[in-house]
Structure 1
Amino acid sequence: MAAVVPMPNTEMTLLGRIYQPLTDFSVLNAAKEQMTKAIDDGLAAQKSQYGTMYNDTAFSASIFSLKTGESLWQYHYEAPALPKESFTKGSITEDSIYRIGSITKATTMYTWLVGLGESTFYDPITKYIPEFAAAEASYKNPIMSTNWSEVTIGALASQMSGIGRDFHLGDFATQSFGQPPIEVVVDNGFPPLANDTIVFCDSYGDIYPQCTRAQFLQGIIDHPPVNPVWYTPTYSNLAYAILALAYESATGVPFDKAVDDLFVNKLGMTSTTSHVPQGDYDAVIPRNDSYALFTYDIGIQGPAGNQYTSTKDFRAWGHAIYTNKFLSAAETRKWLMPVTSTSRWTSSVGAPWEIYRTAITTNEVTNASRIVDAYTKGGNIGLYAASFGLVPDYEIGFSTLSTGDHPGGQESPVRATMIDIYYNAIEVAMKDQANGTFTGTYRGTSGLNSSVTLGVDEGPGVRVTSWISNGTDMINNVFWAANIKEYRLFPTDLSYEENGVRYHKYVLEFLFNEYGEEFRDTDFWSVYNDYWVQTDSLMYNNLATDSWVVAFDKDGMVQSVECQALRAVLERE
Structure 2
Amino acid sequence: MRSFSLLILSSVPSALSLCPPPGALLPPPAIKKNSFAIPDSTFESLPWLSDTTFAIKAQIGATNVFQYSHIAPGYHDPAIPLYGTKMRIGSVTKLYTVLAIKIAREKIGWEDHIGKFVPELARNAAYKDITISNLAGQTSGLGRFGYVGDLATIPGFQAAQFGIPVVNNTLPGCDPYPGGRPCTRKELLEMYNTDQYEPISPNSGPLYSNIAFILLGLALENVYGKKYEEVIKDLIFTPLKLTNSTFAVPNDTATTILPQKGDSWFVPDFANYNPTGGIWSTPDDMMTFMRALATHNLLPAIETRKWLQPHAVLPSVQQLVGAPWEIFRPTTTDVKFTRPIDMYTKAGGVKGYAGWGILVPEFDLVVTINAAGNSSNKAVQDLLPLIMNPVIAFADANAREQAKAKYAGTYTLPNSNDSITLAVDDGPGLAITAFSMGGVPVLRSLAALQGVPIDNFSARLYPTDPDSLGTGKETWTINLDTINTAAAFADLNCNSWNNGDPFRYMKERLDTLIFEIGKTAVSKSSVLSVNLVGWRTVLKKT
TM norm structure 2? 0.89
Change in Cα spacing, 1:57 to 1:117, as seen in structure 2 (3 Å) is farther
Q: Does 1:188 align with 2:162?
A: yes
**Match 1:17 to one of 19, 24, 31:** 24
Query: Which of 434, 438, 447 is 1:466 aligned to?
Result: 434
Give unmatched runs, 5+ long, in structure 2: 1-16
* Closer/same/farther in 2, CA of residues 493 and 97 from structure 1, 3 Å limit: farther
> Kindly, what percent of the aligned residue pairs are identical?
26
2:68 counterpart of 1:75: yes
| DSSP 3-state at the match of 2:411 | strand
Provide closer, same or farther for how the CA distance between residues 303 and 203 of structure 1 changes in structure 2, counting only shifts above 3 A.
farther
C-alpha distance in 1 between matches for 2:541 and 2:355: 48
Q: Distance in 1 between matches of 2:466 and 2:248?
A: 41
Find the residue that maps to 1:61 and give its secondary structure: strand
Deviations 1:195-253 (A, max 9, x none): 3x2221225464x5222222222122212456401110001000000111122122212
Aligned partners of 1:545 and 1:564 also within 8 Å: yes
- Kindly state the Cα deviation for residue 278 of structure 1 after the two structures are TM-superposed: 6.9
Picking from 307, 310, 315, the partner of 1:343 is 315
Across the two proteins, how many residue pairs are aligned to each other? 517
Equivalent residues of 2:220, 2:231 under 8 A apart? no
**Aligned partner letter, 2:52:** T
**Which residue of structure 1 lines up, in the alignment, with residue 213 of structure 2?**
240
Structure 2 counterparts to residues 388-467 of structure 1, below 5 A: 388-445=357-414, 447-467=415-435
Following the alignment from structure 1 to structure 2, what is the Cα–Cα distance between the partners of residues 237 and 572?
55
Q: Secondary structure at the match of 1:235?
A: coil
Task: Report the counterpart of residue 473 of structure 2 in structure 1.
Answer: 503
Decide whether aligned partners of structure 1 residues 522 and 501 sit closer, same or farther in structure 2, where only a CA change above 3 A counts. closer
How far apart, in 1, do the equivalents of 2:242 and 2:184 lie? 30
Q: Distance in 2 between matches of 1:420 and 1:501?
A: 31
Q: Is 2:529 the counterpart of 1:540?
A: no
Distance in 2, matches of 1:452 and 1:13, equals: 20
Which residue number corresponds to residue 476 of structure 1? Answer: 444
Q: Structure 1, residues 309-360: CA drift from partner, whole Å, max 9, x if none?
A: 1111112112211222222111111111112212221111111111111226
Deviations 1:465-490 (A, max 9, x none): 11001111111226635416011111
Aligned 8 A contact 2:516 2:527 in 1: yes
Paired residue type of 2:193: I
User: Structure 1 133/226 Cα, relative in aligned 2: closer, same or farther at 3 Å?
Assistant: closer
Match of 1:258 among 231, 250, 256: 231
Q: Give the CA deviation at 1:375.
A: 0.9
Contact preservation (8 Å) 2:294, 2:366? no
Moved more, 481-490 or 309-318: 481-490
Aligned CA-pair RMSD: 2.6
Identify the match of residue 270 of structure 1 among 243, 252, 259. Answer: 243
| 1:64 corresponding residue in structure 2 | 59
Which secondary structure state, in structure 2, belongs to the residue aligned with residue 234 of structure 1?
Answer: coil
Q: Does 2:464 match 1:489?
A: no
- Secondary structure of 2:66's partner? strand
Q: Hey, what's the Cα distance between the residues in 2 that align with 1:538 and 1:420?
A: 39
User: How far, CA to CA, are the matches of 2:53 and 2:442 in structure 1?
Assistant: 60
Corresponding residue for residue 168 of structure 1: 147
Contact 2:146 2:197 in 1 (8 A): no
Task: Confirm whether residue 37 of structure 1 aligns to residue 37 of structure 2.
Answer: no
* Contact map agreement 1:62 1:75 (CA 8 A) in 2: yes
Q: How many Å apart are 1:521 and its aligned residue? A: 3.1
**Structure-1 separation of matches of 2:334 and 2:463:** 16
Could you say if the C-alpha distance between residues 502 and 118 of structure 1 is closer, same or farther in structure 2, counting changes exceeding 3 Å? farther
Partner letter of residue 464 of structure 1?
I
What do residues 53-100 of structure 1 show as CA deviations (whole Å, max 9, x unaligned)? 4321110111113x42x42211110113xx2xx226854421111001
Counterpart Cα distance in 1 of 2:258 and 2:421 = 60
Q: Report the equivalent of 1:153.
A: 132
The answer on whether the counterparts of 1:204 and 1:299 sit within 8 Å (CA) in structure 2 is: no
Cα deviations by residue, 1:257-286 (Å, 9 ceiling, x for unpaired)? 011122332110111112224778611113
- SS of the counterpart of 1:436? helix
Q: Tell me the TM-score normalized by structure 1.
A: 0.84
For 1:285, the equivalent position in structure 2 comes to: 258
Deviation at 1:194, TM superposition (A): 1.4
Secondary structure (helix, strand or coil) at the match of 1:275 reads coil
- Secondary structure of 2:128's counterpart equals helix
